[in-house]
Amino acid sequence: MEGHSTYQPKSKVARWFESRLPLVGLVHSSAIAYPVPKNLNYFWTFGAILTLMLVVQILSGVVLAMHYTAYAPVSFARVEHIMRDVDFGWLIRYIHANGASMFFIAVYIHMFRGMYYGSYKAPREVLWILGVIIYLLMMATAFMGYVLPWGQMSYWGATVITNLFSAIPIVGETIVQWLWGGYSVGDPTLNRFFSLHYLLPFMIAGVVILHIWALHHVGQNNPDGIDVKSVAKDTVPFTPYATIKDVFAMVVFLLFFSWFIFYAPNYMGHPDNYIPANPLSTPAHIVPEWYFLPFYAILRSIPDKLGGVICMFGAIAVLAFLPWLDTSRVRSAKYRPLFRQFFWIFSIVAVGLGYLGSQPAEGGYVIASRIFTAYYFVHFLVILPLLGFIEKPKPLPASIADAVLAKNGGAGGATVVAGASAPQTKG
C-alpha cells in the first residue's frame, strides 16, 4: 500500500535533480501522498512521537558527550560539571535522562496498541520483528547509559546485570571478564559502555528506517483490523490528515515531557545515583530503571540463576514469535471478546510485575512474582494459541468506510462473518 507520488518538478534544476535522485518524490510519496486508513485513532500517533524522541535523545546525547569523560575517577564529577558549570547543561542532561523514560513510555504504548489491534499479524510479521529488535537495542542503550553517571546504582546495577552472563555454562565467567575488561566493573567497563551507548542510537535509527520502509510497503493496520478495499473510499492522504494529528499529539506529549524536566526532573531516577560509585558499599536494595522492572521481577522469581536468565530473555524473545502464537485470523480486539479480556489481564500482570520488581525479593513479593511470571508465559504459549480455535469473533465490517459510517451513525453497509470464512492475508 505504498503511495504513488504525483510530484512534478516545476523548474529545470528540480527536474534535473529528480531524474537523477528522486528524493523529493520519495518524500512526497511517503509523507504526503501516502494513503492511511481513515479510521486511525490517536494511538497511531506514537510512531511519530517515538521518532521525535529518538531525535531528541541523539541530539542531547551528542551535546552531553562533548562534556563527558569516560574515566572512572572523574566521571561522576564530570556529570556534576555538566549540571553546574556548562551553560544550560542541567537542561540538556534532564532532557536526556527524562527523555529515556519518555521514550519507553511511548514505546510501551506503541507495543500494547500493536498487541491490542493485532498489528503483528500477516502481512506485518517482519514489521513487528523489526520493532522487537528496536526494543532490544533500546534496552541495551538505556542500560549502558544508566552506567555512565558512575553513581552507586550505576555501578552496582552494572555489576548485577553483567554478572548474569556468568550463568552460561562453561564460558560464562570468560564472557563476564571480557565485558568488564578485568575482574570487576571498572574503568575499562565504563569506556566500553560509553562507546556502545554512543553507537547504538545510530543503529536504532537504521532499524527505524527499515521499520518505516516495511510499514509503507504493507500498509498500516487500523482499529478495525480489516484490509483496505478501496484507496478512494477507505483511505485519506497522510498530509494533511495524519500530519495534523501527529503534530498535535507530539505537542501534547512534549508538554507532558516538559513537566518532568522542569518540575520533577529526578522523579524517575534513584537517589543513590547521586552518591559516587563505591565498590566497598553495596546499596541496601539494587533496582534498575523502571522500564526494566517487569523483566527484573521475572529474573528474581526463578530460584535457579541460569533459569532466571533464560526466563528473563525468553520473556522478551517470545514477543518476536507473537505473529505465529496468535492463531486467530481476526486482528482487532474490537471483534474478539475473549481475547480482549485476556489482553487486559495480561496488561495488569505486566504492570504488576513492574511493581514487584521494585520491591525487595522476599516473602509474598517473591510468591506473587512467580504467579505473575507463570501467567506471562501462559498468556503467550497457551492462551493465545487456543483462543484462535475456541473464540467466536464478532462480525467484521465489509470495509473501513462502512466501519466509519457505522461509528458516525450512517448506513453502515453489509458485514461479513469473521473467522475461517474471512481470512485476512493482505495489508
Q: Which residues are annotated as a binding site for heme b?
A: 96, 110, 197, 211
Q: Which residues are annotated as a binding site?
A: 96, 110, 197, 211, 216
Q: Indicate the SS3 state at residue 328.
A: coil
**Among the listed residues 51, 1, 7, 49, the one whose alpha carbon sits nearest the alpha carbon of residue 32:** 7
* Rg of the chain, C-alpha, whole Å: 24
Q: Which residues are annotated as a binding site for a ubiquinone?
A: 216
Phi-psi region of 170 (alpha: psi -120 to 50; beta: other; left: phi over 0): left
**How far is residue 241's CA from residue 231's CA, in Å, rounded to a whole number?**
15
**How far is residue 78's CA from residue 70's CA, in Å, rounded to a whole number?**
9
**How far is residue 199's CA from residue 255's CA, in Å, rounded to a whole number?**
29
Residue 235 grid cell: 483511505
Element (H, E) at 396: strand 396-397
Q: Indicate the SS3 state at residue 412.
A: coil
**Among the listed residues 256, 252, 221, the one whose alpha carbon sits nearest the alpha carbon of residue 110:** 221
CA dist list (Å): 148 to 11, 151, 424: 51, 8, 47
User: 161 near 287, Cβ under 8 Å?
Assistant: no
Q: Indicate the SS3 state at residue 52.
A: helix
Place of cell 508465559: 377
Q: Indicate the SS3 state at residue 416.
A: strand
Residues 6+ apart with CB under 8 A from 197: 61, 141, 144, 145, 148
Residue 427 grid cell: 495489508
**How far is residue 235's CA from residue 207's CA, in Å, rounded to a whole number?**
27
User: 189 near 180, Cβ under 8 Å?
Assistant: yes
- Residue 414, Cβ density class (10 Å: 0-12 exposed, 13-18 middle, ≥19 buried): exposed
Residues 6+ apart with CB under 8 A from 182: 188, 189
